[in-house]
Each structure stands twice: as C-alpha cells, then as structure tokens.
Structure 1
Amino acid sequence: MGISEIAAVRPAAPDRRATALRRALRELGLVAALFLLYKVARLAVAGRVSTALANGESVWHLERLFHLPNEAAVQRPVLAHDLLVHLANGYYAYVHFPATAAALIWLYARHPAHYLWTRRMLAGLTAAALALHLLVPLAPPRLTTLTGMVDTGRAYGPAVYGPPDTDALSNQYAAMPSLHVGWAIAVAVALVAVTRGRPRWLWLAHPLATLLVVVSTGNHYWLDGIVAAIMLAAVCLLLPAPDTGRRPSCSPPRQRSAD
C-alpha cells in the first residue's frame, strides 16, 4: 500500500479532532437537555407547596413506622462541630456535580462503552426522578417543621438554595428521589466496573458519604436515598450491558490436536 493509499484510509489528525469535538458537543447538548427538562419540572411543581409540606410530614411518619434512624439525631452531632457542618455543606455544594463530571470525562476518554452505559443510567434515573417529582412533590426535612431540623446551608453556609418562596432556579420541593445519592451510586458503580483489585470498592465511599451529607444537612430523608437506589437498580435492569467489544467466553479454549 502506497503513502497516498494510507492517507486515504487513515483520517488526518485535524479530522479526528473535529470528530471528537463534535461528539463532545453532542454529549454536552444531551446534558443541557436534561437540565432544561428539570427546569420545566420545577415550573410544573410551582404552587403545590402545601402538598409538598404535607408529603414531607407523611414521609417522616412513615420512616418512624419503619424504624429508620431519626434524621435529626444524625444532624445533632454534626451541629456540635462547626468544622463538620462546613465540611458537610461544602460536600453537598461542591462535590456532587464536579465529581460526576470528572467521572464522565474520564470514562469518555478511557472507557467509551462504560461511559455510554453510565450516561444512559444517569439519563434514565433523571427522567424517572422527574416523573416522581411531578407526581409526588416533597419538602425536604429542612423545610418540614415537624422534623425540627436546621437548614445548615442557610445557617452556616455555603447556601446552595435561596428562600424557597422566591427561588426560581431550583426545585426545593423535589426531595424524592435524591439525585445526589442516585448519581453518586451510578458513578461509583461505573468506576467499580472499570477498575481492578480490592481498592476499587473504595469508590462506594462516595455514595455513602453523599447519603450521610444529604441527611445531616437536612436536604433529604433516608427514604429519598433508598428510593433513588431502587429506581437506579430498575434502570440498570432495563439497560443493555456495556459493549466493550469483547465476546464473553463461557467455555475453556479448545486444545489444538497434535499432528
């Protein structure tokens, strides 16, 4: 094969970069579409504050019926130490989206098949969560008077949300399921799948820490995280396995007979 034929088969570097850029922009567009869908859901929930507050009290009573730990009891030792409060608030405000984005970028560059699988997981979970947000508006513990919990973001900072009656940028009455917990589980599952050795299980520390943070800051009930995990499991069951390009072999390789 001559040089001209090789050049015809192999695309030039600028073409490959342009293709990669178009793919990256397409992925960015998909993420932006998810964000716009969430904004639409925020407008749809507006005006249902009383229902969201009543549902918050119902969830609180339901958790006591199931003998789940009291969220306020988890928050009290955190409030006793300013450092713990600021660490929890900082984790809630600054780790969730950057950690998810960093994981997706790394998977996109190093494990494209698992990136696609993870993106589908996140999209499926987010779509299901939006449907539940519309059906069951739910006030978080920090906005439900019955819980007696402190809004640590507003009391200590940094505050992610503004006053709920004037905040048009976020849906503060969509506590169930917790996308913080659901996305953290999805990221951990994907990273466990592409790494090797026992240390890979340390990725599960991220969703566990996220669950403790969202509860101790008064942003979610235990059931919000549990429902997120159940919904994510359902989404995973509906998704095809990542196509890594390798065919699984369940039988031992055949031995070549001696001549």
Structure 2
Amino acid sequence: MTITATAPRAAAYRGRLRWWTELPLIAVIYALYSGARLLVRGDVNDAVEHGADILHFEQLTHLDPERWFNQLFTHHAFLGVPADFAYASLHYVVTPSVLVWLWLRRPTHYRNARTWLMVSTLIGLVGFTVVPTAPPRLLPGAHGFMDTMAQYGSYGWWGTDASAPRGMGHLTNEYAAMPSLHVGWSLWCGIMLFRYGRNWFVRALGVIYPLMTAFVVMGTANHYLMDAAAGVATMGVGFLLAKPALRVVDGLQARVRRRLGTEPVHEAVVAVSVAPGASAAPADKQQAAAPGGAKVPAPRTVSVPPGAPDDPGRDPGAAGGSGAGRGERSRMS
C-alpha cells in the first residue's frame, strides 16, 4: 500500500519568488526595450527602403491587407479612434497586468512565462537594430497610407509621432517596425490567458486580444502584415530558448551560492519502507535532521508492504487482541 501526501506546490513555489528582485528585472528589460527603440534609429533612407521592400513583397504575394484596413479606419472614426486608443495604451497595460496575474494566481508557471517574454523582447531588439524599418504611415505619399494617429490626434493624448504623448515624439524610434512586438506581446498574453484561464470569458479574451492587435497595428498604418508575422516568429524562437536560458541562469546561481556557502537545503522526498508488523509514525511527525541542524520536511511517500496494517499509526495487536483483528480482516477480504 502506498500513502501519498501532496504538498501545496503553488504556495511552496511562490516562496521562491521575490517581488523586490522581479520588479527590477522587469524594469531593466523594459528600459532596454525603450532605450533600444530610442538609440537605434538607423538611417532613415535605409528604413524607408526596407519598408517599401516589405510592401512590395506583400503585393507580389497578394498578402497586403494593411492598405484596406487603413482605409477602413481612416474613413470611419468610430473604428479609427478606438483603434488608436488601443494601439497607444493596451501594449503597455495588458502585458504587465497578465504578468501580475500569473504572479498571484499561477506562480508555478510565472517564471517560465516571464523568461519567455523577456527572451523574445531581447530578440525583437536585435531585429530593430539589424533591420530598421519605416512603418507604412512613414512611406512616401504615393503609397497611399494615412497616419490615423495624426488624423485622430485631437481625441487622445498622443501626437503625430507614433503613440508617444504630445511633445515626447523625439523620445521614440519610429523606425522600429520589424518585428512587431505589439503583436508578439499580445500573442504571449493571449496564450497565457487561454492556457491558464479557468472560465470561458478569460479564454475568449486570450483569442480575441492578439487578433484585435494585429488588425489595429495594420489599420493604424504602424505595421505591415510581415511585421506581425515576424512578431509571431520572434515569440516562437523565444519560447524555444526560454527553458535553456533558465537552466543557464539556475546553474550560475547555484555556482555562486556554492562559492559563497549559502546554498539552501532543498526539500527532500523520502520513501519509507515499513516492515511487516512494524508501525509507521504519522507523516506530520516524521522529520529527518539535515546537516547543520536544519529540518527536512516530512516524507511525502510511505510504502507499506502487503500484510502490514492498513493504518500506519495503528498497533497491529490493537482492536480486540493480538490476532482477532487480523483474522477478522482476513475473513472480510
């Protein structure tokens, strides 16, 4: 017979996470994201040429829906204004909110998810550096795109420089269109909501949000369809690299702890074999002494050979004499 006690994994894992280390880490990655967009401006002529090349390729393959969406948002303010608000805000609100939600409700999955997002963001920064790309709204007028952020600027806080607040356009890089991290981050949020949400509404949001973001970035003339596809590919590569990155980080941390002599005592899972006729102490009273006087949590698994008492804490001779209890159980079986 096997007796298994399941520990509260979520509570135990949350104890390993510290907000005072997580917040600075996330802040550093976000600062790199914002700083790289600002510093890596590239040559304007090269950026415009790259944008025109992407649009030309899409036209050759008949995969250029951004012009149709842009005309739709330009001609209908009831679509264009909400799209501009979504582009200017959701990217910076929904992603941190999902991170906090994972921290509070899914702590066992938080670290992998956070690492996936961060690795993908760093890959996106490489794309901004290597391939500076002008969005459709910054192509010459002959291409026919309208900047809806400028058209509906009187409705919101943004100016004519992408989604930057008025007067702060010089603090953003307008030639960081490839890949679209708006689409990449929204895909990450959608997967988290769909996978870990417990009701249909949250899961539906996980499907709707990335699709809506893709339509918005194309309709506002801030990204091409190829930018959106590159954002999805970036998240795919980040997903593949997240676990190896965590293994490297964990290995480095363990090495540093060993050198400093501060390596923690890990929880042990102990298998206890109980011989026939012997009694096993209750699981909550079984503790083993670890080096240095620390105590290891109680064993989680107790293996009892056939023929031993069903109740590990019960004396075999109890319940009516030395053999009566065992004989009665034998007849019942």
Q: Is TM (by shorter chain) over 0.5?
A: yes
Q: In the aligned structure 2, how far is the partner of 1:239 from the partner of 1:98? A: 23
Q: Does structure 2 conserve the Cα–Cα contact (< 8 Å) formed by 1:180 and 1:210?
A: yes
Provide the residue aligned with 2:80 in structure 1.
Answer: 85
Provide the residue aligned with 2:146 in structure 1.
Answer: 150
Q: Does structure 1 conserve the Cα–Cα contact (< 8 Å) formed by 2:119 and 2:242?
A: no
The structure with the largest helix share of the pair is 1
Unaligned residue ranges in structure 1 (runs of 5+): 1-18, 243-255
When normalised by structure 1's length, the TM-score is 0.78
Provide the residue aligned with 1:26 in structure 2.
Answer: 21
Q: In the aligned structure 2, how far is the partner of 1:163 from the partner of 1:77? A: 21
Please tell me whether residue 110 in structure 1 is matched to residue 141 in structure 2: no
**Could you list the per-position Cα deviations for residues 70-107 of structure 1 after superposition, in whole angstroms to 9, with x for gaps in the alignment?**
31111112222211111100111122211111111111
Letter in 1 for 2:232: A
**Could you list the per-position Cα deviations for residues 84-140 of structure 1 after superposition, in whole angstroms to 9, with x for gaps in the alignment?**
111100111122211111111111011012221221111011100001111000001
Provide the residue aligned with 1:233 in structure 2.
Answer: 236
Letter in 1 for 2:19: A
How far off its partner does 1:44 sit? 4.1
Unaligned residue ranges in structure 2 (runs of 5+): 1-14, 163-167, 247-304, 308-332
Q: Which stretch shows the higher mean deviation, 129-138 or 186-195?
A: 186-195
Q: Does structure 2 conserve the Cα–Cα contact (< 8 Å) formed by 1:114 and 1:190?
A: no
Q: In the aligned structure 2, how far is the partner of 1:161 from the partner of 1:139? A: 18
Q: In the aligned structure 2, how far is the partner of 1:150 from the partner of 1:159? A: 19
Q: Which stretch shows the higher mean deviation, 23-32 or 207-216?
A: 23-32
Which structure has more relative contact order (CA 8 Å, sep 6+)? It is 1
Alpha-carbon distance change, 66 to 181 in structure 1, aligned in 2, over 3 angstroms: same
In structure 2, the residue corresponding to 1:218 is in which secondary structure? coil
How far off its partner does 1:202 sit? 4.1
Provide the residue aligned with 1:67 in structure 2.
Answer: 62
How far off its partner does 1:161 sit? 5.5
Provide the residue aligned with 2:260 in structure 1.
Answer: none
How far off its partner does 1:159 sit? 5.7
How far off its partner does 1:69 sit? 3.1
Alpha-carbon distance change, 130 to 160 in structure 1, aligned in 2, over 3 angstroms: farther
Q: Does structure 2 conserve the Cα–Cα contact (< 8 Å) formed by 1:64 and 1:70?
A: no
Alpha-carbon distance change, 190 to 257 in structure 1, aligned in 2, over 3 angstroms: farther
Q: Does structure 2 conserve the Cα–Cα contact (< 8 Å) formed by 1:153 and 1:159?
A: no
> Of the candidates 33, 49, 54, which is equivalent to residue 54 of structure 1?
49
How far off its partner does 1:212 sit? 0.3
Q: Which stretch shows the higher mean deviation, 105-114 or 37-46?
A: 37-46
In structure 1, the residue corresponding to 2:134 is in which secondary structure? coil
Larger Rg belongs to: 2
The sequence identity of aligned pairs, in percent, is: 35
When normalised by structure 2's length, the TM-score is 0.62
Provide the residue aligned with 2:226 in structure 1.
Answer: 223
Alpha-carbon distance change, 240 to 76 in structure 1, aligned in 2, over 3 angstroms: same
Provide the residue aligned with 1:9 in structure 2.
Answer: none
